[in-house]
């Protein structure tokens, strides 16, 4: 501590010598890229769908008649969402979400409150796996792709922050914005994505184990049992 000021006045000086901080090493990132089979959905009937609400982080549960063959249903804005654990290899959680507006491509990020696993939303399994793969290769990132291009921002500090100069961060965020908007996405899709797995805010969420009903605080299947 070189100097301490209180109400604009110097009240102490040279009390504690500055300590050079050291980073504690690389943050563990043990995620495994899932297979097509890992994220496949089977079944039909009344399905639970996470409905995001524009301008809010709360979600609603919608019940929609669906067949697995119809997923994703881009016309009805029903897309697949996938959560992959960043801490240990394992099968991902898979669910359905509405409100992102994507007409093509997929987005993924390692910023996903509170556990900060890898979360993705997309219009095809292939696109979803590609953006998840990009995040894993960077050991944390924001990524987006569509039929005409892709963009990513590496988040080298715990998969949450970038060490790049702010000018470079700005440029990469702008590229991400261009890709998501050309895909038809809702404004600020990564903001909604980052809260989609936060299981303490109603009404329905997605985790590494699947869809999660916040009201009953329990995991639920995609298709309702008759």
**Rounded CA separation 181/145 (Å):** 11
pTM above 0.75, yes or no: yes
pLDDT tens digit string along 128-156? 999 999 999 999 999 999 999 999 999 99
Reduce the DSSP state of residue 131 to 3 states and report it: helix
Sign of the C-alpha dihedral computed for residues 40, 109, 140 and 199 taken in this order: negative
β-bridge mates for residue 152, sequence order: 143
81-118 per-position pLDDT tens digit? 999 999 999 999 999 999 999 999 999 999 999 999 99
* 52 membership: H or E segment, kind and range: strand 44-52
CA–centroid distance for 163 within its chain: 20
Model confidence pLDDT, tens digit, residues 31-84: 999 999 999 999 999 999 999 999 999 999 999 999 999 899 999 999 999 999
SS3 156: coil
């Amino acid at each position: 501590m070189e100097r301490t000021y209180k109400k604009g006045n110097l009240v102490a000086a040279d009390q504690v010598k500055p300590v050079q901080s050291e980073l504690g090493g690389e943050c563990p990132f043990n995620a495994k890229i899932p297979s097509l089979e890992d994220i496949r959905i089977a079944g039909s009937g009344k399905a639970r769908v996470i409905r995001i609400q524009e301008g809010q982080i709360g979600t609603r549960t919608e019940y929609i008649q669906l067949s697995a063959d119809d997923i994703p249903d881009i016309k009805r804005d029903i897309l697949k969402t996938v959560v992959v654990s960043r801490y240990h290899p394992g099968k991902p959680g898979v669910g359905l979400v509405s409100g992102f507006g994507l007409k093509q491509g997929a987005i993924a990020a390692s910023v996903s409150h509170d556990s900060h696993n890898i979360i993705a939303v997309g219009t095809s399994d292939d696109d979803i796996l590609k953006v998840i793969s990009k995040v894993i290769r960077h050991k944390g990132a924001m990524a987006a792709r569509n039929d005409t291009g892709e963009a990513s921002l590496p988040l080298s500090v715990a998969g949450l922050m970038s060490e790049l100069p702010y000018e470079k961060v700005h440029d990469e965020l702008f590229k991400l914005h261009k890709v998501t908007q050309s895909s038809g996405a809702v404004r600020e899709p990564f903001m909604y994505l980052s809260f989609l797995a936060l299981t303490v805010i109603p009404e329905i969420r997605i985790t590494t184990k699947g869809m999660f009903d916040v009201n009953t605080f329990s995991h639920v299947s995609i298709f309702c049992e008759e």
